[in-house]
Structure 1
Amino acid sequence: MTTDRTKPQIDAPEGDAPETLAVRDLIEGDGAEAKAGDTVTVHYVGVDFASGEEFDSSWNRGESIQFPLRGLIQGWQEGIPGMKVGGRRELVVPPELAYGPPGGHFLGGKTLIFVIDLLEVG
């Protein structure tokens, strides 16, 4: 499935990072609904909540990416189910649902913002 959307711009957040997963639909989809355990095809951009710096984007690589949900960070496993194909959703993911405490992963200890376009559910 293709989309005529462009890469989303994520504004620098104000205030404190949420302590729990925050899910907000930016565009409601009208296609198939993602369920836990599905494989999803997405376009996404990820930004560090504290700095507003982008750390990853499928848009920059010029192609969407396909993942089994159960292989992703917990914030995606909890935040994508219920989303429909064609939708765009923002997830604000606290460290314990992302890459854990500081140390192991370069994103450890960070609250992350993702804007995800759901292109396909398999």
Structure 2
Amino acid sequence: MSKPEVEFQDGPAPSELVIKDLVVGEGAEAQPGASVEVHYLGVEFESGEEFDSSWNRGESITFPLRGLIKGWQDGIPGMRVGGRRQLTIPPEQAYGPAGSGHRLSGKTLVFVIDLLATR
């Protein structure tokens, strides 16, 4: 798959995690607490501005889910290898309320994640 385009979402930011499968994978299913290899793109909900992308670095990244923001911990399990999923994550499940010290604090984030492997 190639780098995704994130469609701008109209309306107010959701107050709950929104999970949307763009492509349903055929491979192994990611379990809570698993290590996952992903390609991902992150944009701010309000502006649509990209803030992070493994695609721009030219390589996927592998990490354990338990070390990630809650929106990823809750949003990736159940996804299958080969799939592409969009997560819209409110601040409470991302980097906390405005003023929490992270540059993305207080922001609703949208990630498009391609699951390449799970262990």
TM-score above 0.5, yes or no: yes
2:85 partner SS: strand
Q: Which residue matches 2:118? A: 121
Aligned to 1:39: 35
Whole-Å separation in 2 of the counterparts to 1:67 and 1:108: 22
Query: What's the C-alpha RMSD, in Å, of the aligned pairs?
Result: 0.4
- Offset at 1:72? 0.2
Is 1:19 aligned to 2:15, yes or no?
Answer: yes
Q: What is the DSSP-based 3-state SS (H/G/I as helix, E as strand, rest coil) of the residue aligned with 2:55?
A: helix
Asked if 1:112 is matched to 2:109, the reply is yes
Gap regions ≥5 residues in structure 1: none
1:78 aligns with 2:74: yes
Q: Following the alignment from structure 1 to structure 2, what is the Cα–Cα distance between the partners of residues 33 and 79?
A: 12
**Aligned partner (choices 47, 55, 58) of residue 54 of structure 2:** 58
Give 3-state SS (helix, strand or coil) of 2:63's partner: strand
Q: What SS does the corresponding residue of 1:60 show, helix, strand or coil?
A: helix
Which stretches of structure 1, 4 residues or longer, exceed 3 Å deviation after superposition?
Answer: none
Distance 1:86 1:11 in 2: 21
Taking every aligned residue pair, what percent have the same amino acid on both sides?
Answer: 66
For normalisation by structure 1, the TM-score amounts to 0.96
Partner of 1:7: 3
Number of equivalenced pairs: 118
User: Hey, what's the Cα distance between the residues in 1 that align with 2:22 and 2:7?
Assistant: 13
